[in-house]
Amino acid sequence: MKYGSLKGTQDIFPPDVFIWQRVENTAKDVFASYGFQEVRVPIIESTDIFIRSIGETTDIVEKEMYTFSDKAGRSITLRPEGTAPVVRSYVQNHLYNLSSPQKFYYAGPMFRYERPQAGRFRQFYQIGVEAFGVEEPKIDAEILSMLKLFLERLGLTGLTFHVNSIGCEKCRPSYRKALHDFFSERIDGLCPDCKRRFDYNPLRILDCKVDACIKLREGAPVITAFLCDECKLHFNALLALLNMLAIPFVENPNMVRGLDYYTRTTFEVTSENLGAQNAVAAGGRYDRLVEDFGGPHTPAIGFAIGMERLTAIIKSLAKQEVPVPEVVIVTIGEDAGTKGLLIADRLRQEGVWVEVGYSGNSLKSQLRKADRLSSKYVLIIGDDELASGRLKWKRLSDGSQGEIPITEVYDFFK
Ligand code: HAM
C-alpha cells in the first residue's frame, strides 16, 4: 500500500459508524431535554486561546498541541479540546447579553500529540457541553444527572462518578503552599517537567504521568482540606443534591484535572470496561474563564465525553444492530432491469432502502447479494413478471413468498 493514515488517527466506517451515529443521536435527544443546543466552533483557533485557558505548565500546552504558523505567520493550533473555543465564541458574540443560563453542546474532532495507545488517539472525538451563567450547585447536579442519563440510555453499566472540588482563587494559595512544602522534600526525585512545575504550579505535579512522580505524590495534602467556606458550602450542597437525585458517586480528593481553568467542582466518569485509559467523560466548573477572556463575571460548567472510549465500551457490550435494506430488486434482462430501477426510485422517495442488481450480475449473484446484505425481502422481476404484471416477493427471514400486482408494490413496502 502506498499511503497509510497518520499514527494515532483512525478511519471509522460501517458497522462501527452506526454506533457513533447512535451515540450522537442519543446525545442530541438527551441534551435537548435539559435545554442544551448545538454550537459549531472552528477546529483551528489562535494558539493564545489554549495557552491562556488550559495553562502554560500543563501537558497539553507544553507537549501536545498541534501548533503551526499560517502563511501570514500567525500561530494557529488545532483545538486540543472544546471548552476554550466555546468560551471564546461566547465572549466574542456577547452571548452573555442573552438570558442565563446559556447551554450548549458540540461534537467533533480534537487533536493532541500524545503517545497513542488503546483508547488514546492523536485525533479523537468529543461530545461536550458547556453551561454559562449559573453559580449555584444545582446546575452542577443537573449536568451530572444529564451525563448519567446519557450513558444509561446507551446501556452502560460499571461506571464510577468521581467528584471533587479544587477550590477557587481564595483557597488555592494555601493549598499550593502545602503542596510546595510537601514536594520540597522530594524535589530531587521528580521528573524534569515537575521540577519546573514545582515553582510555577505544584498542582500539576499531581497530574504528571511519570511513574516516579506518581510514587512521590503518595501522601500529598488533598485540596478538600483547604477549601474556603464558600467552596465547602458549594461542594457539600452538590453532594447532597447528587444523593437526592440518586446519582452514585465517590469523592475523590486526589482527582486534579489536567487543565488549569477549573475551579470548584471537577468530575470524571471511569468505566471498568476500559483499560489504562479508563476515563470516558470528564469536566468541571470554570468560573473565571469568561472573565479571563474579556467577558463579564460568568460562572460556567461543562464536560466532554471521549467518543472512541465510549464506542469501544458499547461495542464490547452486545452485538450491535446494523441497518439492512428493506428489499433487493433482482432483475433478469434489460427491460426488467429498467422497470426495477423505476420501482426502486419510487420506493426510495417513500424512504424505503432499496438495492438493485446491475447488468452482468446473474440471478444467482443478485440473490447472493440480497443474502449478504441481509435484506428483509427480495423482489424478482423477469420477462414473465413483466408480461403478467405480477411480481414475486420472498421474505428472507422465514423463506415465505408470494406475488403482488406491480401496482401494489408501493403500499406493500411502505
Ligand atoms: P479532558 O479530560 O481533557 O477534558 O477530556 C475529556 C475526555 O476526552 C476524556 O475523559 C477522554 O474520554 C477523552 N480524551 C481526552 N484525550 C483523549 C485522547 N488523546 N484520545 C482519546 N480520548 C481522549 C476536556 O477536554 C475538557 N474540555 C472537558 C470539559 C468541558 N470541561 C469543562 N467543559
State pLDDT tens for residues 285-317.
999 999 999 999 999 999 999 999 999 999 999
Segment 51-65 shows an average pLDDT of 95
Of 378, 383, 405, 407, nearest in space to 393 by CA? 378
pLDDT at 214 over 80: yes
Does any ligand 1 atom lie closer than 6 A to the CB of residue 128?
yes
What angle separates helix 307-317 from helix 16-32, to the nearest 10 degrees?
A: 110
Of 270, 413, 294, nearest in space to 355 by CA? 413
Give the model's pLDDT for residue 200: 87
Does any ligand 1 atom lie closer than 6 A to the CB of residue 83?
yes
Pairing of strands 263-271, 279-285: antiparallel
How many Å lie between the centroid of ligand 1 and the Cα of residue 304?
Answer: 6
Say how far apart CA 277 and CA 381 lie, in whole Å. 54
pLDDT at 359 over 90: no
Distance of CA 158 to the CA centre of its chain: 18
Does any ligand 1 atom lie closer than 6 A to the CB of residue 140?
no
Does any ligand 1 atom lie closer than 6 A to the CB of residue 85?
no
pLDDT at 52 over 80: yes
How many Å lie between the centroid of ligand 1 and the Cα of residue 364?
Answer: 50
Does any ligand 1 atom lie closer than 6 A to the CB of residue 180?
no
- Count other C-beta atoms under 10 Å from residue 325's C-beta: 18
Does any ligand 1 atom lie closer than 6 A to the CB of residue 207?
no
How many Å lie between the centroid of ligand 1 and the Cα of residue 128?
Answer: 9
Question: Which residues are 314's β-sheet partners?
Answer: none
Query: What's the pTM?
Result: 0.94
Nearest residue by C-alpha to atom 30 in ligand 1: 303
Give the model's pLDDT for residue 360: 75
Say how far apart CA 360 and CA 283 lie, in whole Å. 57
